[in-house]
Amino acid sequence: MIRSFVSWFAVATMLTVAGASAVSAHHGTLVAYDREKQWTAKATVTEFRYLNPHAQIYFDVKDDKGTVTHWSGELLPNPAQLIATGWTRRRAMDALKAGTAITVTVAPPRAGGNVGLVMRILNDKGEELLGAQPVPAAAPPAAARP
């Protein structure tokens, strides 16, 4: 019992923090998206790609009228970070097969269009996938100059 709790705690801690530490990309991707306008919706995975420089997820979102919109999304964690937090390629690909129902939180592009920064993915059981987590919508105050 204790052993399983420790295991759960370790994984949960890693996943929680991975979201925080995974928020910058090698090409400065953050500025392309508006995190103050992030939204959450149910979606269906059409494709998931476990690749450098960033994992990509493609998905369909259906609105109340039944209109389907296709989205492309990049994830903040790169494969190195996914590996570090236990999301191996096999595990990630199994969790996000085409047809999987998910709930996604997306920061839309400042320029408009249907390519977003995927901040969070939940499966139909409400479980967090890939460890991606929302970050503060607004930039925090800068620390004092040294």
Which residues would be at the binding site for another protein (CB under 8 A)? 3, 6-7, 9-11, 13-14, 16-18, 20-24, 26-33, 47, 49, 51-54, 56, 58, 70, 72-74, 77-78, 80-81, 83-86, 88, 109-117, 135-136, 139-140, 142-146
CB of 31 to another protein, least distance (A): 5
Query: What tokens were used for 33?
Result: 């998206």
Helix, strand, coil share (%) of the chain residues, nearest 5: 25, 30, 40
Count the neighbouring beta carbons within 10 Å of the beta carbon of residue 132.
28
Q: Toward another protein, which CB reaches closer, 29 or 44?
A: 29
Smallest distance, another protein to C-beta of residue 112, A = 4
Query: How distant, in Å, are the alpha carbons of 30, 73, 93, 101 from that of 98?
Result: 27, 15, 9, 9
